[in-house]
Structure 1
């Protein structure tokens, strides 16, 4: 007797009209969860250009042509805002940012399979391909990974590629939730999803972007200039919708902050600044920002980055904490990066009672308590066979 073959997946629907999108979203709002992905373009713009949205419930899969003429995405916004339906993403941050920009709100509730997989022991920042192989028994065709999703019409192979992302994500979600519920770790995942659900996670403050450049100086006048021109670049890049690095590169910002040009000719001497840029609208507004920053009183200048208070951490203690972290991660099958960062370990080694996430919630239970015990001599590390073990002295 021959075995019955599983029913083939239905062909994904291509949605190009508002009526069809509204009908689809009405059906999906009756589901327990919906898997979501996007295809967008951002190489030449500051703001992401949404091109395609993929959606799947338990029984259907659809590819929404977000660039279709006359298409109103409002029904999609209503679906994403419906608290009764879990929105499942993989590596959600860029997708969520797009929807926040488009609809003014973060989808709720969110489940990110990449974060969940880290809690479930699949390692740091596990790829979608790896989860597909492990939990869905599928292999992803990468032929359209670098496709131009803004070109129309979409090809049949593009549609199939886009649909596959949310099709397999259903099995990944089911497998991860079953494992996490069995191990009592759904609350751990919920803690991590809280940051994704916070709109502040996706907002860029132009007045603080200079800190990302990590200037190696305590000269507050230089820092005031850098703050001003970095904020100018962020706002100007947003205004003309161009990537910030394409507008002015980081190294050029640092050079301009050091030289403080006052005229278009002086500005044009900076690497990467053309004469046309220096004499144009953008150059004029940059020079105005420099003049304003140079006129600031000392009291209005930013403080220099402060060195960490107290003695530097012992490299030996940091090394021991890293070994303990690896051992605890192995024991609990949780990605080390999700428990503690390198900076967390440095502070844990150097400070008596630092206020760190690793000393709160499930992280304290998994690693924090043992780390404090190691620091105080109440715990030692040993080796048994090929595994690191924890030894309680006495």
Structure 2
């Protein structure tokens, strides 16, 4: 186990790892005081060695690492990969590929929803992870041996877990299922930040277009300001203050100073001037340029019990097939299926349709039923309904 602090050692490590089929990767970073995550450590493991790379070491050039992560001949294995990939994408503009997220693979293999690395390592590698260093300050130098041991355990046990998951996927023919799920993680659009879309993160009750237009303008200003100053969003202006500003549309310093949580000093300064300018832009927006609220999907009357039946069926089918429910369908998917046979949901296409979607439509149209058998719930095929008979009559024995 090695700590890499210079470019030449990093280059040699990456050359060795480039000859392997796959490497496991993890990062440690800090972002409590910044907008952009500060990369503090990168851990890599191959079949014969594991190393931690110090991005904060004076003079180190991470280009050999970035080239390895982009090497199409080496699979990169992460666990809960999204934040790690986001960091590399912002640093290089390139997403590590090909990649596998073992959290997703574990969901496909029946380990439940969003299984933690600690649980996966315990179940598949027989490892106990010491969590005491999880919330340590990774930017502080020097790193302790305890910190390095914790960090490297995130990639060493991951190799064993991935190998066992890969064998299960191959045996069950589900490798393509995981590959399909990786499409989201490898899509650059997943990580691109659009300041004018930042308002959608805020939870608001009003759907009035003018309010939403004002909210979009002031939130876009905050996003750009947070990026420029490299500060967390709420360190610039809190969400609650932005929502109140959008609701009351202050046009003067005095009106802005009355905003809850916003000081007069801030209102009188450059920040206040920028916010008032954003408010004016929101007020000047033509009606046609205002955000259009997403239409509220109201469940048609009487479909609630059907949705409940679909939820039971989903749980049953996922248990039978050993797949996490979260990966197959959510409550919104069930509601859409109940209302529309052609609903635009992933649950009605691909492998999801095979294990759940088709059965959901059969249940909806009376081609199968659910019944209790002791402590179990079972699926019962139903005979087609004859003309002139009710569905209940058709289900009775002749």
Does TM, normalized by the shorter one, top 0.5? yes
Q: Could you tell me how far apart the structure 2 residues matched to 1:310 and 1:336 are?
A: 22
Decide whether the 8 Å contact of 2:341 with 2:361 is kept in 1: no
1:321 aligned counterpart, secondary structure: helix
Partner in structure 1 of residue 388 of structure 2: none
Q: Post-superposition shift, 1:377?
A: 1.1
Matched, 1:233 2:219: no
Q: Could you tell me how far apart the structure 2 residues matched to 1:148 and 1:156 are?
A: 14
Matched, 1:154 2:143: yes
Q: Could you tell me how far apart the structure 2 residues matched to 1:102 and 1:81 are?
A: 13
Q: Post-superposition shift, 1:111?
A: 0.5
2:131 aligned counterpart, secondary structure: coil
Partner in structure 2 of residue 253 of structure 1: 242
2:58 aligned counterpart, secondary structure: coil
- Which runs of 5 or more structure 2 residues have no equivalent in the other structure? 384-398
Q: Post-superposition shift, 1:134?
A: 0.3
CA, structure 1 residues 312+260, in 2 after alignment: closer, same or farther (shift >3 Å)? farther
Q: Post-superposition shift, 1:249?
A: 2.1
Decide whether the 8 Å contact of 2:45 with 2:156 is kept in 1: yes
Q: Could you tell me how far apart the structure 1 residues matched to 2:268 and 2:192 are?
A: 31
1:37 aligned counterpart, secondary structure: strand
Once structures 1 and 2 are overlaid, which stretch shifts more, 157-166 or 307-316? 307-316
Matched, 1:279 2:265: no
Q: Post-superposition shift, 1:90?
A: 0.4
Q: Could you tell me how far apart the structure 2 residues matched to 1:370 and 1:201 are?
A: 31
Matched, 1:301 2:293: no
Partner in structure 1 of residue 394 of structure 2: none
Q: Post-superposition shift, 1:220?
A: 1.5
Q: Could you tell me how far apart the structure 1 residues matched to 2:372 and 2:171 are?
A: 30
CA, structure 1 residues 364+139, in 2 after alignment: closer, same or farther (shift >3 Å)? same
Q: Could you tell me how far apart the structure 1 residues matched to 2:161 and 2:260 are?
A: 48
1:38 aligned counterpart, secondary structure: strand
Partner in structure 2 of residue 108 of structure 1: 97
- Could you report, residue by residue, the CA deviation over 1:237-292 in whole angstroms, capped at 9, with x for unpaired residues? 11111111222222221111111111233222212212232233322212111111
1:272 aligned counterpart, secondary structure: coil
Q: Could you tell me how far apart the structure 2 residues matched to 1:26 and 1:281 are?
A: 51
1:172-187 equivalent positions in 2, closer than 5 A: 172-187=161-176
1:50 aligned counterpart, secondary structure: strand
Of the three residues 127, 149, 157, the one matched with 1:168 is 157
Decide whether the 8 Å contact of 2:79 with 2:102 is kept in 1: yes
1:138 aligned counterpart, secondary structure: coil
Of the three residues 246, 252, 256, the one matched with 1:263 is 252
Q: Post-superposition shift, 1:313?
A: 6.6
Partner in structure 2 of residue 4 of structure 1: none
1:207 aligned counterpart, secondary structure: helix
> How high is the TM-score relative to the length of structure 1?
0.94
- Which runs of 5 or more structure 1 residues have no equivalent in the other structure? 1-11
> How high is the TM-score relative to the length of structure 2?
0.93
Decide whether the 8 Å contact of 2:214 with 2:283 is kept in 1: yes
Q: Could you tell me how far apart the structure 1 residues matched to 2:299 and 2:148 are?
A: 57
Matched, 1:79 2:68: yes
1:55 aligned counterpart, secondary structure: strand
Q: Post-superposition shift, 1:310?
A: 7.3
2:195 aligned counterpart, secondary structure: coil
Q: Could you tell me how far apart the structure 1 residues matched to 2:199 and 2:318 are?
A: 35
Partner in structure 2 of residue 91 of structure 1: 80
Q: Post-superposition shift, 1:312?
A: 5.2
- Could you report, residue by residue, the CA deviation over 1:114-167 in whole angstroms, capped at 9, with x for unpaired residues? 000000000000010100110000000011111000001111111111111101
Decide whether the 8 Å contact of 1:313 with 1:349 is kept in 2: no
Divergent runs of 4+, >6 A:
none
Decide whether the 8 Å contact of 1:232 with 1:286 is kept in 2: yes
Once structures 1 and 2 are overlaid, which stretch shifts more, 223-232 or 277-286? 277-286
Q: Post-superposition shift, 1:309?
A: 6.8
